[in-house]
A and B are shown apart, each in its own frame.
Chain A
Amino acid sequence: MKHRAILLLLAVTAALPAPGPALARRLNRYEYNCTIRDLLGVDFRAGDDFPADNFSYGFDNNAATLTVTPALMAKYLDAAKKIARAAIEPVPPPATPEVERHSNASAAPDIAWRRNFTWDGDYDVHIAIAGRSDPFALYISLDDGEPQRLPVSVDFEARRYADTRLTVGAGAHRLRVLVVRDDDRAVDQAWAYEEARARKTGAEPLSKAEIRTRLMAGALPDFAGRVTPPYPEFVEARGPYGLVLPAISAGYRLVFSCGHALGGHTPACVRGNLENLARRAWRRPVTPGEIDKLMRLAAAAPPSDSKSEQQNLRQQMETGVEAILVSPSFLFRVENAASPRGNDFEMASRLSYFLWSSMPDDELFHAAERRELADPAALQAQARRMLADPKSNFAAQWLEFRNLDFIHRDPARFPQFTADLRDAMRMETELFFEHVLHEDRGILDFLNAKYTFVNELLAKLYGIPGVAGDSFRQVDLDGTARVGVLTQASVLTVTSYSTRTSPVLRGKWILENILNDPPPPPPANVAALRDPSSEPALTLRQQLEQHRANPACAGCHLRMDALGFGLENFDAIGRWRARDEPLPIDSTGTLPDGSSFSSPVELAAILAKHPNAFAQCLTEKLLTFALGRELNSQDRVAAAGIGQSAAKTNYRLSDLILGIVASPAFRADAEAHE
């Protein structure tokens, strides 16, 4: 026993992985949750109870540091047991129809909603349209089919409504709502108002071009409520109606793919069900031999005398599902398996875990079966399709706002920092990231966008008037002190301590996540500073100035502190402040390259002057996440190339992502094994 354990230990130690092509990679907690959800159609979130995954190079999907311990193994077993039991249990349909709403925060005229319909049946779709200006037409399409024009209710309130009823099969469907509007006419209307206003006040009217720009950005406060281009504000689906009983849920159908009626299990179906589930769970074709072994295990389940045939077959399903979910083929993404068709399916998984943090869907899986993913154009098409429905948690890790869940603020100083505010901060940055992606915006929006997304709570924190209610909407930041992600409360909060801001942390955050220029480690033992107890209290700026007097510290702190102090006007929860009592805030600074600034907005403008550095930074972050490993020098060269070619298209975020998917760096790991 001892010897065996020690031998195993030596084996593990000897096989230290070096940076390079991907390893057998364990699903992290987030990926586990997403995969189970997509595999079984039910959101179990068992992974929330797993031990936290280790972070490396900024992300928690690094193959080398995702380790397995007995404690985790015990949880895998336990989770599989609970999930298997629930998965084979038919779910009773809801007694009353359920309603789910999808809101459109960005005022875009076109919204897409991927909804999981649990049941076959009819669903009432209810659409609210905000904004005024006629004429416009409203269209709806299901799963990208032919758009149907819908009649819209008459205009007697701020909102108008449209209703229709759709018949859908259980499973995920894409609803698209599109407002086709006459923008020229809206501009004319607004122009008329603007002219009247200018006549009245004697002010210079805005140009027609300026009105068009602002109008399309949803940003003409003077005309709010009078001329706003109409857009779908939300869509609701209510149902199911007209259920054919006994109804079978989407999740149940995913497990019992054989398709028989409830309770009509047969031995052949058990095999077919398990084979189909194993193929999906393991994200690759399965061999008859593998299923034979799985069936032997399932059939060896407990003594059968006291149970009916149906109960025994159910028991076999339960054991089979449980085994599938603790198999290494489920828990690990294994690349370079010797299977001759391996690469197609590995590429499918690679793509889906990059964009979705989850398993491939049927369409992607079928593309792999047809060997299409070796074709760059087909691969791009799949990636584009998938980007319409992003599910990965890249942004929360890159911008570090995931830490909002774990940080703490001194309640005496920051009583406003409630769970609701924390959620609102997270939501703002999530919506912002999605907006940049979906609207094909350039990545410089992260630095200099004069818009953001707030609800009433966050608007109050920011001092933005006229926002009521919990739902988020796009607001114009022109004339405010805020711009881009740097001044979003989420970022400002996670780079502060519980009682105060930290210019050093904020500076470091900018260097690492925006400028791609992480500070080198400080020299050893700089913390041993002289005893200043006899000196008067110093401001933070003065203390750090003292710190920089040490030449060993000066090089890096000069950069970090200058950047960080540029954001000092925002306190530890992102509120604007002019003073840090008893002294006024001094947010001026000069960067080592000589450029100087005197406000957060000016700092952001300087950062935006280096789009190449930022593009390279963001591409490297995306690539690290996509590959799940440390980047090597070739990867960095590749990232630089992707960033530079995106310059042609104004550094669109989607182009960086698609560039990675097309890059040898993303594909080479797979090809290296061919």
Chain B
Amino acid sequence: MNKQLSRRKMLRGMGVSLALPLLDAMTPAFAAPRAKPPCRMLVNYVPNGIVMQDWLPASTGMDFALPNILQPMEPHRSRMLLIEGLAQHFGWPNGDGTGDHARAASTYLTGVHIRKTGGSDIAAGISMDQIAAHQLGSRTRIPSLELTCEDGRMVGVCDTGYSCVYSDNISWRSAATPGSPEVDPRAVFETLFSSEDPDPAVRAATRRRDSSILDWVLGETHSLENQLGPADRGKLDEYLTSVREIEMRIQSAGQRNDAVRAPIEKPAAIPAQLSGHLRLMYDLLRVAFQTDATRIATLMVGREGSLRSYDEIGVPESHHPITHHQGRASLIEKVVRINCHHMRLFSEFVASLARTENGDGSLLDHTMILYGAGLADGNSHQHDHLPTMLVGSACGGIRSGRFLQVPPQTPITNLYVSMLTRMGVAIEKLGDSTGELSELGDLG
């Protein structure tokens, strides 16, 4: 039976008139299970910069030796592309004084000048992952996942003059709406799986009910909006956009009406140590990609300026203060230990992707991961020569196994344009980009 027809029939059966355009493509991956697997993208952000002397290999090209921090990636060196020379111009003060950590996070994926404000008029820009989600998100159950291992619950500890929002988010849905990443693995699991009842009839009834409630909510919101001045509508528009997105999720799930079985156990509480927490997040990302729940994700290993301490690797000190080590060897050694710890956990994740079958290859073959930080040296807040690594071959669009040096001060947004192009996103310019990063590899 024709898919479109059955979808209309379903909607008619619900007695709902939808003020929504039909989705451009109802999940081609499900319609054609034997097709080439889709390409996935993850941005893995680490806070407080990286000790660059232990990150940069001594020589470029194919035969570089892996320095200390990159050692855990040895098994995957043929799958990684190290890039040196990229810069985030808007990370620098540009007349706004201090606040390098806030800028590091919020300019990282947006490439725009963020407004220095304590909160009333937040303005960054749409981030590269959200551009991808807007164009590709309707093809999966969830347009994108925003995760963090450290959320912004602390009072009064953000970067001078900048709202905490800027330090807590790399993903921005729009200039004024941060992605608000999820910290709780259990909640991520529930987003991915648990609303699914095993009985198809129950699932269908629940979706019908949810849809009619959301439809009623849309009506209520419109009548409320009519009573408001334009300045007050912004907040309700965010709400409206969110209601619509949930409605679309319900519809696309209804279109399939197959229960997605969770390949992993439901996580319990948030583990106290980072390793436990991060491993759960990586598991969830892997199964999210594996079950095609989403193809686009960002993960903040910590909020920018993170004060986390790392008892599990013998670093009881808070992270941020020791990155201002002022050249003292004993403190640098501890920061390196944290950098290595992050990399070890990440390499476990990469290995798990390599083990997971997908299409005619592995999940790693069909994934592109950006591992990086919004600061190079955390001690002096450098926003150029950013530590940048691409992992996975992105469905063949990236020539890996290399250490690539690009001209200094090349905008990192050029890399994003090239990454998005490989994801199939139509884009010419992003933030301060000046072109593509042609050295990445040939487009397939």
Chain A interfacial positions (CB closer than 8 Å to B): 1-2, 4-6, 8-9, 11-13, 15-19, 23-26, 49, 51-52, 54-60, 62-75, 77-78, 290, 293-294, 297, 300-302, 319, 322-323, 326-329, 331-332, 334-339, 397, 400, 402-403, 405-408, 410-413, 497-500, 502, 509, 512, 520-533, 629-630
Contacts and interface: CB of A to CB of B under 8 A. Distances in A.
Nearest to A521: B160
Contacts of A406: 153-154
Contact of B239 (A1, A331, A403, A533): A331
Nearest to A533: B327
Contacts of A66: 235
Interface stretch (B222-230, B354-362, B364-372): B222-230
Contacts of A521: 97-99, 160-161
Contacts of A412: 311, 316
Contacts of B190: 78
Nearest to B210: A77
A498 B316 contact: yes
Nearest to A403: B154
A328 B242 CA distance: 12
Contact of B328 (A72, A290, A533): A533
B81 interface: no
Interface in B92-146: 93, 97-100, 118-123, 126, 134-135, 138, 143, 146
A659 B321 CA distance: 41
B236 to A, nearest CB: 5
A301 B184 CA distance: 33
B329 A16 contact: no
A520 B161 CA distance: 8
Given A68-B235, A69-B238, A78-B190, 20 more contacts: A1-B23, A2-B134, A5-B134, A11-B234, A12-B238, A13-B174, A23-B234, A49-B187, A54-B180, A57-B119, A74-B191, A75-B187, A400-B156, A403-B157, A497-B318, A498-B316, A521-B99, A524-B93, A524-B97, A630-B120
A55 B161 contact: no
The 6 nearest A-B residue pairs measured at CB? A56-B119, A15-B234, A410-B316, A531-B327, A521-B160, A528-B380
B177 A67 contact: yes
A301 B173 CA distance: 34
B205 A302 contact: yes
Q: Give the interface SS of chain A, mostly helix, strand, loop or mixed.
A: loop
Contacts of A337: 224, 227-228
B227 A339 contact: yes
A671 to B, nearest CB: 16
Interface residues of B, number: 103
A411 B119 contact: no
Contacts of A332: 235-236, 239
Contacts of A5: 134
Contact of A73 (B100, B119, B245): B245
B182 interface: yes
Contacts of B240: 8
Contacts of A4: 20-21
Contact of A1 (B138, B175, B180, B221): B138
B242 A68 contact: yes
A65 to B, nearest CB: 5
Given A410-B311, A527-B380, A16 B328 contact: no
Given A329-B224, A408-B309, A293 B316 contact: no
A356 B23 CA distance: 44
Contacts of B135: 2
A499 B318 contact: yes
Nearest to A528: B380
A78 B190 CA distance: 10
Interface in B416-441: none
B259 to A, nearest CB: 17
A13 B175 contact: yes
A408 B273 CA distance: 11
Contacts of A62: 119-120
Contacts of B317: 410, 497-500
A612 B381 CA distance: 39
Given A12-B177, A524-B98, A23 B231 contact: yes
A48 to B, nearest CB: 10
A432 to B, nearest CB: 18
Given A16-B234, A65-B163, A532-B327, A73 B156 contact: no
A336 B228 contact: yes
